[in-house]
């Protein structure tokens, strides 16, 4: 600590989800590492909520090549193949490392790792711990973190990255009481997760607001494929206030079937081959269509049914689902669930190299904050693997960065002080802005898109972004920054969606007729930064 | 939409000297949870602080007390009139409590050098302990932590998880003992409030004590009790005529027979408080219940289970079960909360086990006379949480005397702490005695020999069993009648 309250370190890790904690554990091997988290460590973010599993080619008959093919086909050929190679090659190693560190993953009676089928896989590849896989990983990582020398600062929100001479040299933050603090670091890692909370209906944790996307963007970094938002096919619809809550894909993996209000197993019409285990984009759109065409259940969803499975199987394989639905008054052993799509995952994010470098020196990204691994549609189970594979890489690269000790420019902090003061003289309750933003995004930039709605929504979002927010107490200041970040991320999504003149994976443009399928698309990533924006052209494979 | 009026604890220790309660009326949707109620309040009053992340019961951020009991705000349905307090932990602001000191102390695995993958059986044994979301509900209610350097239920859960993990290289048993393994009173409060229903007392603490036992680390006082049981069949020495010495095998009721039960007396009532058990017999028989008392019954084994010394347990169980089944008894009545809880939860009995409070309220008792006194009821942990019996004792007491409620708290007598960790046990009883004084009552009523004996030692007020209180009501009734009869005869 310096007199002016700046925390100095070699590596600063922002975020305590799977990616951030893994990165910190790795970085600490090389120098002083500080991990900062908006939430209590390991409690925020989506990692502890992940239920279904972790993809790794482990069993006989499976291979990294097959895993790669499935991932790229699922991703509508938009994935960065180099990143996919890394993911599939290193996922098994990182999995076994978690096991060494104490993770309790399910085993089969034959003494193998239990693996279930997730959508888009040809071979069961998803390792799991019941239906609390992410939680199991988080518990393991936290144990490891506690035993390490990483200093952990909890309930501190990073509000911006600090730059000097073109490099990121640290960050500025608000502590629990809303007071300003600063960090100086040779290397800074963004592991802040995704932003699906910008939608009205979302599976995400409260921290899924895209702070990292917004901060990276403001620092000049390039983001790719921000239009690629995955809508999970099965979010709960009741009770209203908890709508969006994820109903894990494992429910379908274990044999759950989808029915409309007429009792038809409608996936027969949309993907007769893969049925309920088709890719998420296909299932989500099919459900949305059933609902739109009037075959919806009382709470505007469709039925997801596991009542044909034995109660014992449900209790063993889906204990968390059973518990959650029971708490909300449905016994899934006897009654059907009601589900509808819910905003779930950002495939896009900061552009990274295989070493997790962003386009700005000194700044690294991993996990959901980074883009490129999943292309236009993520396969279930690939993200948890991504957090470990790229978390370790980011920590390693950042840890090896030379020690520069570049001081942050403390004059910059004055600007932030001024901004804080402005929040106290604002007049708009941030809660109302969030609500309007989420509804606008759901209606105008959701599961299906068209130029008219996108443009209109962009105007609305930009208006919301300009609102003078009110922080009633110092503790409300961080919330104001978050809301501004959400507005910024929303505009990035829309602008990217406008850039992509095709339907691809999770991005569906109803106003565009195209003659190519995903494999033959002439387009690559969309990219967007404060400097430029556009869409990459790519050579169509022969 | 529904409108709910709720009361919320407010305190900003940085600014306010004292906490206060604030009442809010807000609208929420059908099926809303407490968390959504807090969101609705926050939208109107942004100064309210509370914690949450996942909203789905998976992260353990949002535990608060609703009407006094810890719950997850995101999973508990909101209702009109709720009172919402922070967990009983140091408050940072409003409903935000300081969780970091406890979370930071959770032990980490220290992996062995050699590669080792747990088997399916090991995984299955570990899984129930792994579902913990570190919400600290358990820690916030643990009585032993309040009075002693006990690391608490969450730490014990973690020590157990590490002790049975083949990958861990440390000696977790000595760690657990250092952290207070023998200080837990087995009050069961921690797991009753656990949102994941992790049975820490039974599945971690008693198991760790068992492992300690196998390594010869049982406390000497506990080992003495085990020796006594294996030598005499009783956990308490005999220094007066016992209950069983004084009763026949069958006690016929005074009037018509309304039912027949077996009676399991337990060591404390048999050897130390026989008169109380005799009082209970009088109440049962006055209410038409025929009581069969097999004289070969022995200790239920609870003191052994609670302290991890279960070697001779199967013998005891077999003897006790046979004692009742060979007489064709289908309902066995207990009056010791500890024995009742053990027979109900640790035994697999071919007969139904009922606590005396249950049987008396079920059959409907003869009305006793009212005594002009105020009494407090102390809930025995093994009756309240071990057997879920809360209403019945209150119903019975209210027929005889004016009932004053006490805050529900463990008196410190259980789990072997009284003999093994007397400081912990005394400190808890001391706190209990203070609360009793504050309540300003003449007597304390309970329904467990351990509580009665232990509180009796520390409180200035006499402590009586419920059946004794009922009996006094009946005696007064008889006296009054006798008096009336006498008067009318004289007239
Ligand atoms: C309900 C649900 C279920 C899922 N199930 C699966 C599954 O079965 N398999 C799978 O592979 N994937 C699954 N996913 C996706 C996967 O969980 C996430 O993509 C992944 O966990 C993201 O990890 P992360 O570490 O990148 O970010 P997160 O886990 O989201 O962590 C982000 C961290 O950043 C912190 N943070 C954010 N902003 C700031 C700030 N400004 N300052 C400081 N800290 C900040 C947060 O507090 C949090 O600690 C699921 C997602 C959800 C929502
Ligand atoms: S049983 Fe009671 S004393 Fe023991 S750990 Fe649980 S709450 Fe604490
Ligand atoms: S054991 Fe239960 S109550 Fe205690 S922290 Fe874990 S989940 Fe919460
Ligand atoms: S908010 Fe995560 S458990 Fe309630």
CA–CA dist B382, B343 (Å, integer): 11
CATH code at position A488 = 1.20.58.100
What is the distance in angstroms between the Cα of A275 and the nearest Cα belonging to chain B?
28
Which residue among A343, A363, A382 closes a domain? A343
What is the distance in angstroms between the Cα of B124 and the nearest Cα belonging to chain A? 8
A339 with A415, same domain?
Answer: no
Give residue B488's pLDDT. Answer: 45
Please determine, for residue B403, whether its predicted confidence score (pLDDT) is greater than 90: yes
Ligand 1 close to Cβ of residue A482 (< 6 A): no
Domain end among A328, A343, A358: A343
Question: Could you report the predicted ipTM of this complex, rounded to two decimals?
Answer: 0.94
Q: Looking at the partner chain, which of B59, B108, B127 has a beta carbon nearest the beta carbon of A146?
A: B108
Residue where one domain finishes, among candidates A286, A309, A343: A343
Count CA within 13 A, CB hemisphere, residue A134.
28
φ and ψ of A201, to 5 deg: -115, 120
Per the domain annotation, does A439 fall within a domain? Answer: yes
Q: What is the mean pLDDT of residues A407-425?
A: 93
pLDDT at A4 (0 to 100): 60
DSSP string of A251-293, one letter each residue: HHHTT-EEE-TT---THHHH-TTTGGGS-HHHHHHHHHHHHHT
Instruction: Give dist(CA A235, CA A258) in Å, integer.
Output: 13
Measured CA angle at B395 (ends B391, B400), to 5 deg? 150
Of B54, B75, B109, the CB nearest to A48: B54
Answer yes or no: is A153 within a domain: no
Ligand 4 first shell, C-beta below 6 A:
B 52-55, 57-62, 72-74
Of the candidates A324, A514, A146, the residue with the CA atom closest to the CA atom of residue B33: A324
The DSSP string of B431-475 is HHHHHHHHHT-SEEEES-HHHHHHHHHH-SS-EEEHHHHHHHHHH
Q: Which atom of ligand 3 is nearest to the CA of B134?
A: 5
On chain B, the residues whose CB falls within 8 A of the CB of A479 are 46
Residue B254 binned pLDDT confidence (cut-offs 50, 70, 90): confident
- Overall average pLDDT of the A222-249 stretch: 94
Ligand 4 centre to CA of A492 (Å) is 29
CA dihedral sign, ordered B384, B390, B392, B393: positive
Tell which residue, B131, B166, B173, B146, has the closest CA to residue B308. Answer: B173
Question: Could you tell me if residue A457 is inside a domain?
Answer: yes
Q: Please say whether the beta carbons of B142 and B189 come within 8 A.
A: yes
Beta bridge partner(s), residue B22: B8
Cβ of A39 within 8 Å of Cβ of B61? The answer is yes
Q: What are phi and psi of B280, to 5 degrees?
A: -60, -40
Q: Name which of A43, A92, A93, A424 to mutate to probe chain B: the one with the most chain B Cβ atoms within 10 A of its Cβ.
A: A43
- Based on the structure, what is the number of domains in chain A? 2
Contacts of A320 in chain B (CB under 8 A): 58
Q: Please report the pLDDT score of residue B115 as a whole number.
A: 86
Give the number of beta-carbon pairs within 8 Å between A and B. 141
A244 and A336 together in one domain: yes
- Cα–Cα dist B40/B73, whole Å: 13
Domain that holds residue A487: 411-511
**What is the arithmetic mean of pLDDT over B197-219?**
96
Do residues A336 and A242 both lie within one domain?
yes
Q: Write the CA distances from B287 to A285, B160, B258, integer angstroms.
A: 69, 48, 8
The answer to whether the CB of B468 falls within 8 A of the CB of B276 is yes
Average pLDDT of the residues in A60-81: 96
Q: In which band, very low, low, confident or very high, does the pLDDT at B487 lie, cut at 50, 70 and 90?
A: very low
Model confidence pLDDT, tens digit, residues B417-445: 999 999 999 999 999 999 999 999 999 99
Q: Which of A167, A232, A477, A525 is catalytic?
A: A232
Task: Say yes or no for a CB contact (<8 Å) between A246 and B56.
Answer: yes
Tell me the pLDDT of chain A averaged across its residues.
95
A211 Cβ neighbours under 8 A, 6+ residues apart: A38, A157, A158, A192, A481, A482, A485
The CATH number that applies at residue A280 is: 3.90.700.10
**B40 in Cβ contact with B46 (< 8 Å):** no
A464 within domain boundaries: yes
Q: Is the pLDDT of residue B178 over 70?
A: yes
Here the tokens at position A88 are 């599939």
Is A232 considered catalytic here? yes
Crossing angle for the helix pair A211-218 and A477-499, nearest 10 degrees? 80
In a domain, A293, yes or no: yes
Instruction: Decide if A460 contacts A452 (C-beta within 8 A).
Output: no
If you measure from the C-alpha of residue B382 to the centroid of ligand 3, how many angstroms do you get, rounded to a whole number? Answer: 20
User: Which domains does chain B show, CATH number per domain?
Assistant: 2-96 (3.10.20.30), 103-214 (1.10.1060.10), 235-363 (3.40.50), 374-475 (3.40.50.1860)
Nearest CA to ligand 2 atom 1: B186
Question: Which chain B residues are within 8 Å of A48, Cβ to Cβ?
Answer: 53-54, 58-59, 133
pLDDT-derived band at A323 (thresholds 50, 70, 90) equals confident
Q: Do A250 and A333 sit in the same domain of this protein? A: yes
Preferred mutation among A149, A240, A241 to probe B, highest tally of B CBs within 10 A: A241
Distance of CA A446 to the CA centre of its chain: 16
Better pLDDT: A415 or A120: A415
Of B362, B444, B369, B370, nearest in space to B406 by CA: B444
Q: Residue B50's beta-bridge partner residues?
A: none
Measured in Å, residue A245 CA sits from the centre of ligand 4 at 12
Say if residue A361's pLDDT is above 80. Answer: yes
pTM here is 0.94
Average pLDDT score over residue span A93-122: 93
pLDDT at A120: 84
Yes or no: say if A357 and A155 are a contact pair by the CB < 8 Å rule. no
Give dist(CA B181, CA B170) in Å, integer.
16
Contact B173, B215 (CB under 8 A): yes
CA distance A148 to A101: 12
Query: Tell me, what's the pLDDT at B3?
Result: 96
Neighbours of B311 (CB within 10 A): 12
B118 in helix, strand or coil? coil
Assess if residue A182 is contained within a domain.
Answer: no
Contact B75 A111 (CB under 8 A): no
Is A258 inside any structural domain? yes
* A107-116: pLDDT as tens digits: 999 999 999 9
Of all protein residues, the one whose alpha carbon is nearest to atom 27 of ligand 1 is: A193
Structure tokens belonging to residue A408: 């942050």
CB within 8 Å of chain A, chain B residues 200-259: none
3-state secondary structure A120-181: CCCCCCEECCCCCHHHHHHHHHHHHHHCCCCEEEECCEEEEEEEECCEEEEEEEECCCCCEE
Q: How far apart are CA A275 and CA B122, in angstroms?
A: 36
β-strand partners of A235: A246, A340
Whether the per-residue pLDDT at A3 is higher than 50: the answer is no
- Which atom of ligand 2 approaches the CA of B200 most closely? 6
Ligand lying closest to the C-alpha of residue A193: 1
Q: Are residues A334 and A427 in the same domain?
A: no
Return the structure tokens found at B478. Answer: 């008889």
B109 touching chain A per CB within 8 A: yes
Looking at chain A, the whole-number percentage of residues with pLDDT higher than 70 is: 99
Tell me, yes or no, whether A339 and A235 share the same domain: yes
How many angstroms away from the CA of B322 is the closest CA of chain A?
Answer: 33
Q: Rounded to 5 degrees, what angle do the CA atoms B68, B70, B73 make? A: 110
Catalytic residue list contains A252: yes
Residue pair B72/B84 in contact (Cβ under 8 Å)? The answer is no
Residue A298 within a domain: yes
């Amino acid at each position: 600590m310096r007199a002016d309250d700046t925390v100095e370190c070699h590596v600063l890790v922002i975020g305590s989800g799977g990616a951030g904690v893994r990165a910190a554990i790795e970085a600490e091997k090389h120098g002083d590492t500080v991990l900062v988290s908006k939430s209590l460590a390991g409690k925020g973010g989506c990692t502890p909520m992940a239920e279904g599993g972790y993809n790794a080619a482990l069993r006989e008959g499976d291979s990294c090549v097959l895993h790669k093919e499935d991932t790229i086909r699922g991703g509508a050929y938009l994935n960065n193949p180099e990143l996919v190679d890394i993911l599939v090659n290193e996922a098994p190693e990182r999995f076994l490392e978690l096991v060494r560190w104490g993770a309790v993953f399910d085993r089969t009676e034959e003494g193998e790792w239990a693996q279930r089928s997730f959508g888009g896989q040809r071979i069961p590849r998803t390792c799991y711990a019941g239906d609390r896989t992410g939680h199991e990983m988080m518990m393991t990582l936290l144990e490891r973190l506690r035993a390490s020398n990483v200093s952990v600062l909890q309930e501190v929100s990073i509000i911006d990255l600090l730059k000097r001479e073109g490099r990121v040299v640290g960050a500025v933050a608000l502590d629990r009481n809303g007071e300003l603090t600063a960090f100086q670091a040779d290397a800074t890692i963004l592991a802040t997760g995704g932003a699906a909370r910008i939608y009205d209906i979302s599976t995400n944790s409260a921290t899924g607001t895209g702070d990292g996307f917004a901060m990276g963007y403001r620092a000049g970094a390039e983001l790719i494929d921000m239009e690629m938002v995955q809508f999970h096919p099965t979010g709960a619809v009741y009770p209203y206030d908890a709508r969006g809550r994820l109903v894990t894909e494992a429910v379908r993996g274990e044999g759950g079937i989808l029915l409309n209000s007429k009792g038809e197993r409608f996936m027969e019409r949309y993907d007769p081959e893969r049925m309920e285990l088709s890719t998420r984009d296909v299932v989500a759109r099919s459900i949305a269509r059933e609902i739109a065409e009037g075959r919806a259940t009382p709470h505007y969803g469709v039925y997801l049914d596991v009542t044909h499975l034995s109660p014992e199987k449900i209790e063993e394989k889906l204990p968390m689902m059973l518990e959650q639905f029971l708490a909300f008054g449905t016994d899934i052993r006897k009654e059907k669930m009601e589900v509808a799509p819910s905003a779930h995952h950002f495939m896009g994010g900061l552009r990274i190299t295989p070493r997790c470098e962003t386009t700005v020196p000194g700044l690294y990204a991993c996990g959901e904050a980074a883009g490129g691994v999943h292309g236009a549609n993520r396969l279930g189970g690939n993200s948890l693997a991504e957090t470990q594979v790229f978390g370790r890489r980011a920590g390693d690269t950042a840890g090896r960065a030379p020690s520069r000790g570049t001081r942050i420019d403390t004059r910059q902090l004055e600007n932030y002080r001024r901004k804080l003061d402005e929040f106290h003289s604002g007049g708009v309750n941030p809660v109302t802005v969030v609500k309007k933003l989420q509804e606008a995004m759901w209606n105008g930039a959701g599961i299906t898109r068209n130029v008219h709605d996108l443009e209109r929504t962009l105007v609305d979002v930009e208006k919301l972004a300009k609102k003078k927010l009110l922080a009633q107490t110092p503790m409300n200041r961080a919330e104001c920054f978050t809301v501004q970040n959400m507005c910024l991320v929303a505009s990035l999504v829309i602008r990217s969606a406008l850039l992509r003149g095709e339907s691809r994976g999770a991005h569906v443009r109803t106003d565009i007729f195209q003659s190519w399928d995903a494999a033959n698309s002439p387009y690559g990533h969309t990219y967007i930064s404060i400097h430029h924006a556009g869409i990459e052209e790519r050579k169509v494979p022969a | 939409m529904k409108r709910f009026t709720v009361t919320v604890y407010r305190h900003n220790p940085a600014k306010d000297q004292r906490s206060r309660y604030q009442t809010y009326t807000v609208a929420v949707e059908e099926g809303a949870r407490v968390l959504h109620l807090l969101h609705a309040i926050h939208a109107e009053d942004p100064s309210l602080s509370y914690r949450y992340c996942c909203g789905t019961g998976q992260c353990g951020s949002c535990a608060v007390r609703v009407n006094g009991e810890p719950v997850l705000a995101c999973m508990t349905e909101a209702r009109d009139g709720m009172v919402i307090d922070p967990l009983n932990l140091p408050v940072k602001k409003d409903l935000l409590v300081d969780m970091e000191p406890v979370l930071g102390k959770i032990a980490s695995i220290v992996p062995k050098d050699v590669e080792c993958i747990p088997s399916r059986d090991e995984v299955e044994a570990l899984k129930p302990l792994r579902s913990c979301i570190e919400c600290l509900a358990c820690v916030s209610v643990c009585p032993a932590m309040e009075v002693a350097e006990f690391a608490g239920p969450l730490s014990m859960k973690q020590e157990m998880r590490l002790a049975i993990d083949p990958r861990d290289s440390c000696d977790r048993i000595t760690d657990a003992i250092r952290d207070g393994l023998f200080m837990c009173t087995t009050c069961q409060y921690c797991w009753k409030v656990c949102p994941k229903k992790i049975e820490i007392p039974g599945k971690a603490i008693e198991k760790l004590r068992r492992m300690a036992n196998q390594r010869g680390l049982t406390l000497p006082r506990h080992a003495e009790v085990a020796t006594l049981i294996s030598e005499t069949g009783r956990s308490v020495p005999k220094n007066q005529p016992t209950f069983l010495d004084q009763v026949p095998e069958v006690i016929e009721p005074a009037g018509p027979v309304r039912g027949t039960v077996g009676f399991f007396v337990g060591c404390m009532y048999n050897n130390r408080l026989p008169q109380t058990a005799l009082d209970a017999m009088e109440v049962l028989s006055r209410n038409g219940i025929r009581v069969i008392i097999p004289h070969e019954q022995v200790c239920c084994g609870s003191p052994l289970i609670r302290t991890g010394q279960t070697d001779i347990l199967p013998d005891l169980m077999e003897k006790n079960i046979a004692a009742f089944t060979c007489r064709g008894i289908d309902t066995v009545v207990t009056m010791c909360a500890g024995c009742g809880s053990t027979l109900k939860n640790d035994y697999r009995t071919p007969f139904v086990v009922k606590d005396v409070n249950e049987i008396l309220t079920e059959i409907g008792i003869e009305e006793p006379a009212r005594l002009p006194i105020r009494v407090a009821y102390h809930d025995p942990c093994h009756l309240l949480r071990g057997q879920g019996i809360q209403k019945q004792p209150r119903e019975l007491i209210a027929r005889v005397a004016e009932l004053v409620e006490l805050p529900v708290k463990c008196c410190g007598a259980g789990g072997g702490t009284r003999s093994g960790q007397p400081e912990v046990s005394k400190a808890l009883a001391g706190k209990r005695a203070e609360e009793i004084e504050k309540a300003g009552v003449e007597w304390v009523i309970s329904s467990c020999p351990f509580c009665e004996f232990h509180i009796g030692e520390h409180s200035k007020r006499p402590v009586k069993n419920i059946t004794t209180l009922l009996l006094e009501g009946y005696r007064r009734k008889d006296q009054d009648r006798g008096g009336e009869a006498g008067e009318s005869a004289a007239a």
